[in-house]
Amino acid sequence: MKTAAVILAVSVVAVALALLKVIPDYDVGLATTAAIMALFVMSLDLLSGFTGLESLGHASFFGTGAYVAAILALHGYDNALVAVAAGAVAATLLATAFAAIALRAIGPYFLIMTMALGYLPWSLAIKLRSFTGGDDGLSGLPRPQLFGFSLESGPAFFTFTLIATLVCGAIIVGIGRSSFGTTLRGIRGNASRMAALGYNVWLHKYACFLISAFFAGVAGALFAYYSSFVSPDVLGVGQSAEALVAMIVGGAGTMFGPALAAAVLMLLHSTVGSVFRYWNLLLGSIYIAVVLFAPNGVLAASRRLASGRRRA
Amino acid sequence: MSAFLPGSINRRTCISAIGGGLLLLNAPGRLAAQEQTIKIGALYPLSGPSAAIGNENMRGFQYVMDLAGNRVAGKKIETLFVDDQNSPTVALNEARRLVETEKVVALTGNLNSPIALAISAYALRMKIPYVAGPIATDLTGSKRNAFTFRASNAANQLEGPYALLLKRRGFKRGILMGSDYVAGHEVVDGIADALKSSGGTVVKEVFPRLGESDYAPYFADLASQKADFVFGFFFGGDTLRFVRQYRAAGLTFPLTMTAAALSEGGVAQQLGQDVEGLYSQETWVNVLTDPISKAFVDGFQAKFHDMPGPLAVLGYHEATIILESLRALKGNVPDGVALAKAIQNVHFKSPGGQDFRFEPNHNPLFSAWLVQWHWKDGKATPTVLDTIRNIKQPDTP
Amino acid sequence: MTLSFWTIQALNALSFGTLLFLVAAGLSLIFGLMRIVNLAHGSFYMLGAYGALQVLTIVKNQLLATAIAVAFTAVLGAAIQRWLIERVSGNAMQQMLVTFGCLLVIGDLSLIAWHGTPAILPVPDFLNGTAILPGGIHFPVLRLAIIALGVALVIALDQAQSRTSVGAMVRAGADDLEMLSCLGVNVRTLFVCVFAFGAGLAGLGGALGGIFLGVAPGIDLELGLYAFIVVIVGGLGSIRGTFVASLLVAFIDNFSKALFPAVSMFAIFLLLVVVIAIRPTGLFGRRALS
């Protein structure tokens, strides 16, 4: 519980500083995005890291959540909880079909299949212009309100996002520690053995898919409101790939690692990326470096370093 | 279990790293407050598929600013050039950083419709003027606002002059093709309307997907059609493929392309022999003989060792708009509202001789040149056939 | 629709299909033997195209330029396999990460080197022009040449796989790697050679495809995606499967554009979904995957 206490303490401090306007709005915005991305990658980690179903199509759920929230916002539905829930539910509905098809593929085919499937929602978003704004996207989205409080201001929205992220994150971690989670880990280890033991492997994978899609949808809806804007990019392979690599860099299956990695990579992108023109070069080099020097993720490597120092 | 609970040392290290990062971000903002510099934020796609045109756009801007010594009315101007990586998320983030941390007084740039729309909405919220490029017709149409301006033609300003070309060449029956995205449809629809109102017919409309690799399947059907010409509206690399494959397919209809397709990014030169006989409509050509164009071409070549194209002229416009408006305010920008008003009243002569001024919807009048391309001695050479001036954006109030 | 319309479309599809085969064959081989999903495969295509373009500024002979570009991609492929991928053999996620890293790095280095300007390779003189086929059909010579090359390559590769000792090694390795190394085959060298070969094939695809498809930033992802779809549909590791799938993908892509342009974007994905639903390991894939 020490970890939970630390996270809670830091969050309370962050929120207080934001609300008291000690931290400038821009930085609050960055923190908001960091939280959203952390949630998104955590949801992916449940599916890909924890259960071993590496997916390059997770942005489909993120983007669906985003678009649904966006369309609701444009039509005047401004209840924050309803909109976010709607986005999450829509993402889950998409997952019912997506997972059914993707799970037909096995091994490495699964990864490529999810990548290919991910192109469908993206293509649809571009095609259905009257509905989704096509490749122009939907801009000028108003922020929602929660129990009468407007979430228009940066700090207010940050507070809402942080609470949502913490709650969802806690649920995801909880799922990981439950017996359902143990079964998932078993499936990642050796699916045929689990089947021999009598577990319905397909059903567990399917359920995991839906759950992780739900939380990706939450993150997506939050993202739409934060940016006041959605475009087909949020559904794209690039978004999926960024999330998957953040997960691997952070340490697949550890949940906290990917969440932190997502946040740090995003912050890195905002700071370094705006100064250094060739961001992809830097990012790619980081990935290669991680593989060469920290194959189990950055967190594990730092732990090794730390324990190495202590021994020495 | 231990997999979920990283050692406390690492948790603290990571969090403090993030916290430190956040603090570091604040630094440039604090620095800026100490100097008396006017800052401008310019967002261009400097990487990815639009890198070539983004860079050219930026250079045009740089050229004008450097020529003015990066000073106006006795004050220093600093332009922060930022790569939007063609991603609305990145662009919006950068816009936020520029406005909230760097405290720029105006935003400019951009060659991507969703990005421009997102920035325009943000700029309106923050009451900062935004000078955009020739994208997202709505910026000066249904989504126009007091702070957004356009430094170049809107996509739907192209059809009027084009209709004139068609009429004069006697082209009556057209096959219209455009990439399947918002701008592609807007332009093709506009050309279709213009064609019909001048008494012509649209034989067929085809929309290959944006970034299509193989256009050949679309051509097989065309040979048997009864048409006078084929019109194509494509972007960057798609243009190269389209023309190359069109020629390879042996189609004999005169091929016509529209603005910024051929004179951009050395596209015409790349096509080699295939460029012979192609018609295009350009917003500026580097063979124009008016004094401003000549000075611009010479100066640009001396500085960058490269020939400028219409997008460099766009950058020229953007920078000139900023400079002129700041000059009018004598370097004192009380707030975005005042700057926006000053921008509204800007008036100068553009390369090519067009009088640049804003209409009430913040869109400028522009000129178009009708050009035919020839391949002479290993160079793609444009010949100007016709000029049209003072074109307005249709549906302006 | 006349007979000439169908013939032209069929020939188009065939030419695009053989190009896809060039790119996908390498990917399929690499996976079949080494179980590596090379996310950077499209990058080799792009480097083949840009490489040929660059060499052409020095050397005037396009055949020579192509050969040099192909050699370059092959060597680069060998290097990536030997010094990067080999370190994480067996770990799929790490392989994915490292090849993805290569994709990004190569992409940005290409941007630095060639400035992102869309470019197109010139048509070599002996491949220029339009051929007139029986029935008065006009078809570009270049595309006919690509068809011929592709077919020749398929036959050569198929024969090589079934008749040569290297081919036997590759087939054996795909079945049982441990046994192969027990039999004295230097597996590491074999891997490097096969990866280099696959990369070189993709590079060749780039040098040829660049003539009518051009090259610009983003083409690594575009052709990469096509290649991935082809290998799933065909089944990883099978040359015949890759060829059949390349043609299938090209035909569906081509004819959907010609007949139903509005939905052509989805036609390929529909194919993918249908194939996976019926045969999860692809049309010619092996039924069990370790």
Q: What is the pLDDT of residues B156-166, one digit of tens each?
A: 777 777 777 77
Mean pLDDT over residues B358-372, rounded?
Answer: 88
**Across the interface, do B13 and A302 touch by the CB < 8 Å criterion?**
yes
The architecture of the domain spanning B13-154+291-366 is 3-Layer(aba) Sandwich (3.40)
Mean pLDDT over residues B345-374, rounded?
Answer: 89
| pLDDT value for C124 | 85
Q: What is the pLDDT of residues A252-296, one digit of tens each?
A: 888 888 999 999 988 888 777 767 777 888 888 988 888 888 776
Q: Which two tokens stand for residue C17?
A: 């299909």
pLDDT > 70 fraction of chain B, expressed in percent and rounded: 88
The enclosing H or E element of A61 equals: helix A59-74
Lowest average pLDDT, out of A173-177, B56-60, B242-246, goes to: B242-246
To the nearest whole Å, the CA of A302 is away from the closest chain B CA by 7
Q: Which residue has the higher pLDDT, B51 or C194?
A: C194
pLDDT at A43 over 50: yes
Q: What is the pLDDT of residues B219-243, one digit of tens each?
A: 877 877 888 888 988 877 788 888 8
Predicted TM-score (pTM) of the model is: 0.83
In contact, A144 and A83? CB cutoff 8 Å: yes
The enclosing H or E element of C273 equals: helix C264-278
Mean pLDDT over residues B290-300, rounded?
Answer: 93
C282 touches chain A (CB under 8 A): yes
Confidence of residue A1 (pLDDT cuts 50, 70, 90): low
Q: What is the pLDDT of residues B95-143, one digit of tens each?
A: 998 998 889 999 998 888 889 998 999 999 899 999 998 887 788 888 8
Q: What is the pLDDT of residues C33-59, one digit of tens each?
A: 888 888 899 999 999 999 999 999 898
3-state secondary structure of C213: coil
Confidence of residue C135 (pLDDT cuts 50, 70, 90): confident
In contact, B128 and B103? CB cutoff 8 Å: no
C162-171: b (≥16 Cβ within 10 Å) or e: eeeeebebbe
| pLDDT value for A199 | 87
Q: Which residue has the higher pLDDT, A226 or A23?
A: A226
| pLDDT value for B259 | 57
Give C-chain residues touching A283 at CB under 8 angstroms: 101, 104
**Across the interface, do B4 and A10 touch by the CB < 8 Å criterion?**
no
Q: Which two tokens stand for residue C151?
A: 């077919």
Give B-chain residues touching A303 at CB under 8 angstroms: 6-7, 10
> How many whole angstroms separate alpha carbon B141 and alpha carbon B318?
20
To the nearest whole Å, the CA of C151 is away from the closest chain A CA by 27
> How many whole angstroms separate alpha carbon B210 and alpha carbon A136?
13
| pLDDT value for B128 | 93
Domain borders along chain A are 26-240
Q: Find out if CATH 3.40.50.2300 is the number for domain B156-286+368-391.
A: yes
Confidence of residue B34 (pLDDT cuts 50, 70, 90): very low
To the nearest whole Å, the CA of B118 is away from the closest chain A CA by 6
pLDDT at A39 over 80: yes
Which of B220, B248, B270 has the CB atom closest to C212's CB atom?
B248
DSSP C182: H
Confidence of residue B397 (pLDDT cuts 50, 70, 90): very low
HSE (CB half, 13 Å, CA atoms) of C71?
Answer: 7
Beta strands in B110-163 (DSSP E): 130-132, 148-150
B227, B280, C212 from B254: Cα distances, Å: 10, 11, 20
pLDDT at B15 over 60: no
The residues, any chain, with a CB within 8 Å of residue C252's CB and separated by 6 or more, are: C267, C268, C271
Q: What are phi and psi of B367, to 5 degrees?
A: -110, 155
**Across the interface, do C217 and B266 touch by the CB < 8 Å criterion?**
no
In contact, A19 and A155? CB cutoff 8 Å: yes
| pLDDT value for B7 | 38
| All CATH 3.40.50.2300 domain ranges in chain B, comma separated | 13-154+291-366, 156-286+368-391
Q: What is the pLDDT of residues C163-215, one digit of tens each?
A: 888 888 877 777 777 888 888 888 888 889 999 999 999 999 999 999 888 88
To the nearest whole Å, the CA of C133 is away from the closest chain B CA by 13
Beta strands in chain C (DSSP E): 130-133, 137-140
3-state secondary structure of B281: strand
